[in-house]
Amino acid sequence: MSGVANHTLPRPPRTRARRTSRAVLVGWASLGVITLLAAILGIGLLVGGAPSPVRPGGGSATLAAPAVDVASLPESTTWTSVDGAPTDPAPEGLTDGRVVHPVRDTVVHDAPDGRPIARMPAKQIGDTWLPVIAQQGSWMQVLLPSRPDASTGWLPAADVESAATPYRIAVHLKSRTLDLFQDGTRLARWTVGIGKPSAPTPTGRTFLLGAFSDDQQKYSPVILPLGTHSPTHDTFGGGPGTVAIHTWPTSDVFGTATSDGCVRVPADALKRLAQVPLGTLVSIDNA
Amino acid sequence: MGAATAAVVLVLGATGASAEQGPAPVQSQARAFSVGGMLVSYDSDAVSSRGDDDPQRSFVASADLSKLGVGLSTGALTAEARGHQAQTTVADLKLLTVLQMQNVRTWCNGADGGSAGLDFTRGSLLGKTFAVPASHQELGNSTLIKVELDTVTRDKGSISAKGVVITLLGGNDPARTLTPTEKELGKGLAGLLGAPAKAQNATTVGSLLGALGVSAGAPGDPVLQVTVGAVSCALEDAPAKDEPTTTAVPTTDEDEPVAPATPVTLQTAPTPEVVPYRLGVTG
């Protein structure tokens, strides 16, 4: 049986009718799982209302979560660093386009039913949208916007709104091009500027984190920050070294490696990319 | 409650694979599938029709499968259903050396609008590993044999999931030489169904289909489909019914033709709103 015993159907929520069948359920489930759920339930009844109230095992009914001092957890934003976050297992991989938006501040775990490692705010630069890279039961693994780069975390499905983006953005550093795909079909390709050798644009998969305007940064009317950071700049321009897509006042930068990590795109590209949903995957490779 | 759930560990069903060779529409009928006169049928389904107080579970040991001549190596198969929840588990799925997955669980839950899915701890197809998909995913990149993971469908009153579906597609030129991938997948499919060695040695589309005893079918239509893990759960807020609202046992002559499953459709994510914000980026 190996690990199968741990996949026994979870207990239903503790309604009056269902409590009557508890003895049957004990026989149904493995002793270890029941014990764990009972502990979670017991604690949860005392601290009800905590975020991420999702039980293990793939169900979607809710149980109160273990006591977690949410305020003590670091936020996962472009400004922060989160310790203990799993690294993206497939940084060159694609996704199926699913993105999620936390409907409330949500606890990020290091594994399904795992240890709380961070708090994901529902809003950071506008609404927070994150790409889903895997799902296990009622848990979704997402890319995080915080450092270190390529960090991931698990969110309970009950705490997020799911949607799909048909788009994907691919940045090719060697050819200094950016492709926009929709449903797997390339819609456009632009020649772009990338990071210089001393401050390279990081490779791997990341995502569109937001769309904002900043009157202190007049080189681009709209800036599209990504969920990744410069590997060489801990801070830059007052920010945490966030890599972004934006335009540039002069066209001579396109096709060059002269930025400090950002991807500089022509104005028409920016206009098009600013319409792409947040959470959309951005693949950066050395091709 | 009138709730009903059903779970089937292993479903081997032919989808309109007519006994007569020819271009007959493959979705016109469905019937139990046989290979070499062997009717593949397992008493491995669990159906719960009386709510949470009606837990049902069935178990099939791997030895039982091998006795039936099925080339599917598994640790054990279970099917469980209770109230609005159902799941199947396969400890160690090995389709020869072609498809290997560990701790495969296909599940559904009819609570809170319904959810369903597939998870496993390790998966590889033709030696290439794959992770638990976020939603429906196709593997294999072949027009002849399709391997699908996590096919979730829902209707008004239920949600269903199929864990792993291997489909032999119709409409391929019989004279076409199998690609290396198709050859390996064909071997696996033949091995799964206990087909003779000639199927495992097939080099063309026609020889593979012939050895498996199925028609060429219409382009894109499923002429043979194997499902590992199929579950269906009635939604909790759906109207109660006297009879089970769902079944997932397409192994009888009364089965409806199996149409290609449609993954759950998600809404398109919204276009972003440009907000005023202050964040120095790397220029």
Give the DSSP per-residue string, A86-123: PBPS-TT----SEEEEESS-EEEESSTT--EEEEE-SE
Answer yes or no: is pLDDT of B24 > 90.
no
> Each residue of B136-153: pLDDT tens digit?
888 877 788 888 888 888
Select from A9, A17, A222 the Cβ nearest to the Cβ of B274: A222
Residue A56 lies in a domain: no
| Residue A154 forms part of a structural domain | no
What CA–CA distance (Å, rounded) separates B214 from B206? Answer: 10
ipTM beyond cut 0.90: no
Domain count, chain A: 1
Q: Quick count: other Cβ atoms within 10 Å of Cβ A272?
A: 16
Q: What is the mean pLDDT of residues B67-95?
A: 67
3-state secondary structure B40-66: CCCCCEEEECCHHHCCEEEEEEHHHHH
- pLDDT of res. A11: 43
Q: Tell me, what's the pLDDT at B221?
A: 72
Task: For residue range B174-193, list pLDDT tens digits in order.
Answer: 888 988 888 887 877 776 66
The predicted pLDDT at position A239 comes to: 95
Whole-angstrom distance, CA of residue B135 vs CA of residue B152: 8
Q: Confirm whether A243 is domain-assigned.
A: yes
- Residue B73's pLDDT is 54
Whole-prediction pTM: 0.49
User: Which phi and psi (to 5°) does residue A269 adopt?
Assistant: -65, -45
Q: Which helix (H) or strand (E) holds A39?
A: helix A31-46
Confidence band, pLDDT 50/70/90 cuts, at residue B276:
very high
Average confidence (pLDDT) per 10 residues, chain A, 287 residues: 39 37 36 34 32 34 51 94 94 87 94 94 96 87 97 93 92 94 85 96 97 91 97 95 96 94 95 95 94
Q: Is the pLDDT of residue B247 over 50?
A: no
Distance of residue A114 Cα from the nearest chain B Cα, in angstroms: 15
Question: When comparing pLDDT for A257 and B254, which is higher?
Answer: A257
- Give the pLDDT confidence score for residue A35 in this predicted structure: 34
Q: Give the distance from residue B92's alpha carbon to the nearest chain A alpha carbon, in angstroms.
A: 8
Higher pLDDT, B268 or B213: B268
Q: Which of A36-40, B126-130, B167-171, B273-277 has the highest mean pLDDT?
A: B273-277
Flag whether A149 is in a domain.
no
pLDDT number for residue B75: 56
In a domain, A26, yes or no: no
Could you tell me if residue A189 is inside a domain? yes
**CA distances to A149, A150, B145 from A206, in Å:** 9, 7, 32
The pLDDT tens digits for B47-77 are 666 666 666 665 555 444 555 445 555 555 6
Rg (CA), chain A: 22
- Give me the pLDDT at residue B233, please: 82
Q: Is there a contact between B273 and A18 if contact means CB atoms under 8 Å apart?
A: no
Binding-face residues of A in 59-88 toward B, CB within 8 A: 59-62, 78
Cβ-Cβ contacts under 8 Å, B78 against chain A: 4
Reduce the DSSP state of residue B188 to 3 states and report it. Answer: helix
The reported pLDDT for the residue numbered A253 is 94
Q: Which residues of B touch A93 (CB under 8 A)?
A: 131
- A172 is a catalytic site residue: no
Task: Determine which of B39-53, B173-187, B256-270 has the lowest per-residue pLDDT on average.
Answer: B256-270
State yes or no: pLDDT of B34 exceeds 80: no
Q: In the A/B pair of chains, how many CB contacts fall below 8 A?
A: 223
A-interface mutation test, from B9, B228, B279, most A Cβ less than 10 A away: B279
Is A235 part of any domain? yes
**Which ranges constitute the DSSP H helices of B125-233?**
180-192, 197-200, 205-212
Q: How distant is the Cα of A20 from the closest Cα of chain B, in angstroms?
A: 8
Per-residue pLDDT at A114: 92
Does residue B166 carry a pLDDT above 50?
A: yes
Q: Where does residue B253 rank: exposed (0-12), middle (13-18), buried (19+ CB within 10 A)? A: exposed
Position B125 scores a pLDDT of 83
Is residue A262 annotated as a catalytic residue, yes or no? yes
Q: What is the pLDDT of residue A175?
A: 93
Q: Over chain B, what is the mean pLDDT? A: 65
Identify the band that residue B46 occupies on the pLDDT scale cut at 50, 70 and 90. low
User: Is A244 part of a structural domain of the chain?
Assistant: yes
CATH of the domain at A276: 2.40.440.10
Q: Which domain holds residue A190?
A: 167-285
Question: In chain B, pLDDT over 70 holds for what percent of residues?
Answer: 57
The minimal CB distance from B269 to the residues A10, A24, A164 is found for A164
